[in-house]
Amino acid sequence: MKRHESLVPISRQHHGGLLTSRLLQQDAPPYKGMPTTASGKRDYALAFWQEHLQPHFALEEATVFTMATAFSEHLAKQVVKLCSEHKQLEGLMLALPEVKEENLSQKLHEIGQLLEQHIRQEERVFFEQLQQELPEAELRLLQEQVAGHLG
């Protein structure tokens, strides 16, 4: 799927999210240099949340979601769902340290599935519709906003 330049930085960030989502799922093959135990995966997930996912959600909410909501009621409805998933993932991540060892693998699997589904929804549906519905001038403005947030 060809991405408009305004969405390329966010799509690139999704790659790390997809890798993490697969790592957390129970049927994941071992990945070179990645943890294989449930506790190792939990620690990895928490670090990924802090360093990458939390800032990524903030970037999407401040730029793409804000513009989509202002531009289209149809897109705004999708933003509500996507923001809800952000909150759900945040709650699951923040609860990870309290999950008992015997339940950890299942909880990581749940997080991994939700994260993968969320990213695929954004990439395959939301971003595609956003690119089709927003005029080029709005997409250029979005590109400036994304670049401004990324520094």
For residue 2, tell me if it sits in a domain: no
Report pLDDT digits (tens) over 45-101. Answer: 999 999 999 999 999 999 999 999 998 899 999 999 999 999 999 999 999 999 999
Return d(Cα 27, Cα 96) in angstroms, integer: 20
For residue 3, tell me if it sits in a domain: no
Instruction: Give whole-number Cα distances, 104 to 20, 86, 121, in Å.
Output: 16, 21, 26
DSSP result, 5-31 = TTTHHHHHHHHHHHHHHHHHSTTPPP-
Q: Residue 35 has which token pair?
A: 């943890």
Q: What is the pLDDT of residue 7?
A: 95
Instruction: Give whole-number Cα distances, 99 to 40, 57, 66, 89, 123, in Å.
Output: 14, 23, 34, 15, 30
For residue 79, tell me if it sits in a domain: yes
Looking at every residue in the chain, the average pLDDT score rounds to: 95
Q: Rounded to two decimals, what is the model's pTM?
A: 0.94
Return d(Cα 87, Cα 96) in angstroms, integer: 14
Range of the domain at 21: 8-150
Q: What is the pLDDT of residue 108?
A: 97
pLDDT at 31 over 90: no
Question: Mean pLDDT throughout 8-22?
Answer: 95
73: Cβ contacts below 8 Å, ≥ 6 apart: none
Look at the chain and report how many structural domains it folds into: 1
Going 66 to 67 to 70 to 73, the CA torsion angle's sign is negative
